[in-house]
Every structure is written in structure tokens, then in C-alpha cells.
A and B are shown apart, each in its own frame.
Chain A
Amino acid sequence: MFRITVMSETRKLLGEAAERLFEKHCGARAMRAADGGEIPQALWRALAEAGYPAALVPESAGGPGLETGDALSLLLGAGRHALPAPLAETMLAGWLLSAAGLALPGAGPLAVAPVREGEALAASRAGAGWRLQGRATRVPWASQAEAIVVAADCEGRNLVALVRPGDCRIERGANVAGESRDDVDFEGVRCVNAGFAAHDAAALRSMGAVMRSAQIAGAMQRVLELSVQYAGERVQFGRPIGRFQAVQQSLAVLAGQAAAAAAAAEAGIEAAARDLASPTVAVAKIRAGEAAGIGAAIAHQVHGAIGFTQEHRLHYWTRRLWSWRDEFGNEARWAARLGGRIAAAGADRLWQGITAAG
């Protein structure tokens, strides 16, 4: 369907291998079990064995040596399977850690903080190590992670630090997809390990936004597939509902949104591999986020009442779409930033800005 065609052979092979793994471990039972917020053990073991959680860690630091774009493209497949595990977050944590010259603590899932704009963590020296100050809300998977990787400000420098969840006060929560989103109080928490890096919390959010865009694009593809398939199977008035023009027109709109989400995510992936400060990061999150809302609404309309139940699997994707579009900055946040850049550059540089954004 709207497969993001891969440029490199590596990406193609990687995508196919990941597809087999996801297919195998995201069955109905795993999805149901994960809905309570638990990470399926067998799934995580398989991911770890494949090296995906460390996909953004360079080879020199013990990672699989993937290019950034190839690594991020794994998340398209993850989204398409509503992967019930913090693959994106662990990739993000690995990326931060290796930028600070730190090793991954183990093979378990990792969380990152802070993820919400306006929240900042500070670090200060405490003997030979560092202590943190501050709180972060809605931290993905904090309560279930082996470690939390934070981006903190340390006297004007960017510190990346590793903390143990057990050392923090964590209030468990969840997004509407049932994925764990926890409030974490880091006040006075000692870092297990830390190092300075070029990335700050804003860079973390940019990378996170590209990741969510990719997950959304993957989920949109699945939502389209499910809807087209259902429209071909569900019979009313003596024929499949997909034969009715009104339904066809809705599905055509859904297809357009899926294609736009895919193109935007792909642009974001390219940008993230090149320059995280690029306005294209905003493009990705804005466009994919908008597509998510429209796509979920159409998919539900086409599915009728059955799609509105827990008995049908559609909700695994639509609830994620509703969650992911708001995480790492919603459309409005990113659009305000992008629009501010456009306005500041002035009307006569508008077109140049667009062509430069790829």
C-alpha cells in the first residue's frame, strides 16, 4: 500500500526482517496482554536479540552500526504493528547515551525525560557524581524501564545522565492507548552515570517528534489496510459497503492522509539524520499529527459499531494515533514554531524556506 519505499538495500532488508519479527510477536494475545501496560517479555527479548533497541547506537559504541535513517525507519513497521513496547524510547535513550559517551546499561527497555516542552531538569555536582533537580511528567514507560536517561542542564552545559527508576518517586499513568506515561520526581536523585553531550532536551524532543511521526505513518497505513479490508467484507443492502460511493470517497480521503503522513514522516527521518534543528522536523509532526486525527475518524466511521468495541482490533491503532499525535509536541506547538520561523524570515523568503525543507 503506501509503503515507504526504501532507498538503500540495507533498509529494505532491515524492514523485511523487522516485519517478520513484529508479525510474530504482535498477535492478538500479546496485544491484549500489553493493553494493561505490561511489556510482553518474549517480544522484548526478540527485539533485543535483533539489536533494534540499540539501533541508534554507533558501531563503535557497541550498536548495530545502522545509518540514522535506516534505524528510524524501523519505527514505521513498529507503528504499523502497534508494537506494544518502548522501542522508540529505548532507541532514543541509546542515542542520547552514546552521544554522551555512555554505554547502554543492559538489554532492558529504557525511558527518556523530559519529554514535555516547558519542563526542564537540572543537574549539579555531588561529590564525584551528579544529583538531579526537577520533575518530568508523562514520561513514557518510566515505571517499567531498566533505567531512565535524562537530558539535564548542568550549569549551562548539556548533561546526559542515567538514573534508576527505583531511586525516583514515580506516579504511574497511561496515555489513551494504555501505554505507560508516568510522572517522575527526580528531586535529589543521584545519577548512576553521566556525561556531557551536544544534545539538550530540545534535541531529544525533536528526535522524539520524528519518531512519533514515523509511528503514526505506520499506524495510518495499517488503519487504511484494515478499513479497506473491512469495506470489502462487510455486506449491507446486499453488497460490500466498499461498493457504495460515499464509503469509497471516505476511504480515498483516508488514503490521501496515509500518503501524506508517510511522506511527512519520511521527510522528518531524512531531516533527523542530517540536522535535528531543521524545520522539516516540525513538518513531519504537524502533517502526520493532522493525518492521525482525520484517519482515525474515517476508519471508525467505515467500521461502524464493531470498530467501536474492544472486540475488534482497530482500537489498538486508533488509540495510539490519538496519543502519539500529542506526544513530543502536538501539531499546534510545532506549527507555532515553524510559522514563527517563516514569518521572521519574511514573505520574500517563504518559497526558499519551502524548497530548502526538502
Chain B
Amino acid sequence: MGGAKGLRFDPPSHFPEGERLRAEVRAFLAEHLPRRALTEGIGSWGGHDREFSRKMGARGWIGMTWPKRYGGHERSALERYVVLEEMLAAGAPVSGHWIADRQSGPLILRVGTEAQKRHYLPRIAAGELSFCIGMSEPDSGSDLASARTRAAAVAGGYRVNGTKLWTSNAHRADCMILLARTGEAGEQRHGGLTQFLVDLKATPGISIRPVHNLAGEHHFNEVVFQDALLPAASVLGAVGDGWDQVTGELAFERSGPERFLSSFALLVELTRALGREPSERARIALGRIVAHIVTLRRLSRSVAGMLQTGANPAQQAALVKDLGTALEQEIPEIARQLLDEEPDRAAARDFARVLAHTMMNAPSFTLRGGTREILRGMIARGLGLR
């Protein structure tokens, strides 16, 4: 085929076992999830509930694709996908293990030492260890390679100084995977960065301050390192390889169902509030949104399948996230025009409450995990334009 370079999507494969698993997950949710959960913790991948995470671990639904010897279950990426999407659609409180299951664990598995794998992975899989991501800084957002937090080699390890910002769940997490500078950037700008496994609960010199988002929620934080000492064994992967490791990690971060289901609770409440026989205008709007979601699910499962085969569909993942987050942001804008009801966080009606919450969280959908503009730049690279 002629033309520009390719961005290929393989069709998602069918697997009947997935439907059996789906039924199991739905039964589990029916048993363990309080009915009101759906209207809570929207946009932040559910609430934080350690007990729930442990229950999921016990069912074998965390670290599903990892090797058994590290506490994993050696199941397929598509089976994992079924669990993820069912949890999100039900608004389950998954944030206690979400980050670790999605990216920290796979990263440790990929580049960690044997000792690190044995130490961390079984605990993550049991739902006992939660992680946060220490990448962004006050002066390094999209331009992550400019990170300034410094890890200076000292006897026995590293001394860390600097500030991480927007660190989701740092106040609850046990561990952070920290991106810090161990050397000079070099001509490519991407050198000199290293990732570290940081024990947030037991390392002196780390202070965590809440940053309240515009909805008044405490979700992300500022994390300040002042002469924090990290043992040499906390280096994750190779010294100086931080950039490559981080970009590999982001492909996992970008293509999942959480990139188009953030407003799903609102869609459910909208459907409920519209009733069984809504106006034609409302039916058209609902039908259109559902058509988008069905299509996104296919694209997203396609990326999951490609990740499973060991490909690195980073540009495809960026494309799915760009399409998915655009829809997530559109849903509150459509919903508010279909019902004459003002958004209100304290409303008795679920619709008004969920609308308020979703609307106020919507700006973050196209920022977190790489902004829309950065993602589109990656897609353009996939098209051979840069």
C-alpha cells in the first residue's frame, strides 16, 4: 500500500471465554458493590477502597497477565480488559490498585530486578500495595524530559531533591515510581533520566501536600523531596534509561477503557432521567453517544490485543485516547441540553449531582496522561509528518 506510514489497528479477536468471565465479574459486582457507588468518584477511576482491592486480588483480578511465579495469573490481555471495563462501567472503587495494575507492575515486570519482582509484584496482585506516578513537576508537564528533580549518587544509593506535582493518590499510595535526573540530558534531551522505586511510607525527607482540584476534591498532590535517601537497589531498570522506560509505560496508560468511560456514570443517569420514551432529539443524542462508545471499545480492545502480542502501539493508543477523551468531554455538554436541570453537587437527584461532578472533572480528561495536543503530535508522527 502506498501513501504515508501506517497506523494499523488489528480487529479485536473474539473469545467466548471472555463472556464467562464477564458474567463472573458482574456477579461479583452485584454482591460487593453498593448501589450508590456509581455516583461517586467519577473521573478518578472510582473511589479508593483497600478492602475492595484486596477482594479483587483474592479473585485473581489484579496482575491478571503476569507470570504465576510473581503472583500473577497468566491470563490474556483481553480477559484483563473485560475485568477493567466491567469495573469502570459499574463505578467500582478501583483506584487503590489501578495504577499498579496498569503501569507500575508491568514496568517492574519488564525492567525490574528479580528481587524487585519478587518483592513488589505478588503484593500488588494481592491488592495490598498501591502505587503513584511521580513524573510531572512544576516546570515539567508536557515537556517531561526537562524534569529537574535530581537524584545524586552517594555512598550506598541516591540523594533526591526536587518537587513532583499533580501526583494522583500520593497521599494514599505505598510506593511511587519516581522519574529523576541522574545525569545530563545530552543532545537528544532524553538522556540522564532514571526511574526509582520509592517507599513513600518509610523514607524520611518526603513531604506530601494536597492540591485541591477545582471541584474541591483531594485527588492529586505536591510531593517534595528534601535530601531523601534511596538505596541503590531502588533503581528501576537501567540508570539513564528513564526516558525510554517512561514512554513505553505510557502506551499502557493511554489506551484503556478509562479513556472513554470517565463520563459513563453520567450517561447512565441521563438515560434514567430521560425515561423509556424520550423525545426524538434525546434518542438521537443517546444513539450517537452509544455508537461512539461501541466504536471506541473496538479500537481500545484492538490496542489491548496488540499490546498482548508484544507490539508497541503507542501511536494507536494516543489516537484512541484522543477520540475517547473528546467523547468523555462532550457527554456533559450534551446531557445538560437534554434536561432542564442545573448541575448541583448536593442535589437529591442523581442526574444533577453526577452532571456537576462530571462537568467539573471534564477539563482534566484531555490533560492527564498526555494532553490532547501532545497526543495529536504523536499521531502526526505516526502519519510520517514529523
Contact = CB atoms under 8 A, between A and B. Distances in A.
Given A266-B11, A342-B287, A347-B268, 14 more contacts: A1-B1, A4-B9, A224-B4, A243-B386, A247-B385, A249-B376, A252-B322, A252-B377, A255-B382, A263-B9, A264-B294, A282-B287, A343-B276, A343-B283
- The bracket for how many chain A residues form the interface is 35 or more
Contacts of A351: 89-90, 264, 268
B278 interface: yes
> Main SS of the interface on chain B?
helix
Nearest to B378: A252
Contacts of A262: 9
A358 B290 CA distance: 12
A310 to B, nearest CB: 23
A283 B295 contact: yes
Contact of A287 (B295, B383, B385): B295
Interface residues of B, number: 59
B198 interface: no
Interface string A336-352: 11111011101110110
A355 B322 CA distance: 21
Interface stretch (A111-119, A315-323, A327-335): A327-335
A264 B283 contact: no
6 contacts: A4-B9, A231-B385, A248-B376, A251-B379, A260-B292, A335-B283
Contact of A340 (B283, B294, B297, B322): B283
Contact of A3 (B6, B264, B295, B316): B6
Contacts of A33: none
B313 to A, nearest CB: 12
B30 to A, nearest CB: 11
A-B pairs with lowest CB-CB distance, top 9 = A335-B287, A339-B287, A339-B283, A338-B287, A339-B286, A347-B272, A225-B3, A252-B376, A248-B380
A78 to B, nearest CB: 16
Given A2-B9, A350-B267, A339 B278 contact: yes
Contacts of B8: 1-3, 5
A248 B377 contact: yes
Contacts of A236: none
A229 interface: yes
A255 to B, nearest CB: 5
Contacts of A251: 379-380, 383, 385
Given A1-B3, A283-B290, A342 B299 contact: no
Please indicate which of the listed interface residues A242, A335, A346 has the most CB atoms of chain B within 10 Å of its own CB: A335
Given A228-B384, A255-B7, A358-B298, A342 B271 contact: yes
Interface string B366-386: 000000010111011011111
B256 to A, nearest CB: 15
A350 B271 contact: yes
Interface string A231-269: 110000000001101011101110110011011101100
Given A350-B267, A358-B298, A343 B291 contact: no
Given A228-B383, A251-B380, A336 B295 contact: no
Nearest to A19: B1
B386 A264 contact: no
A87 B323 CA distance: 32
Contacts of A231: 385
B287 to A, nearest CB: 3
A244 to B, nearest CB: 10
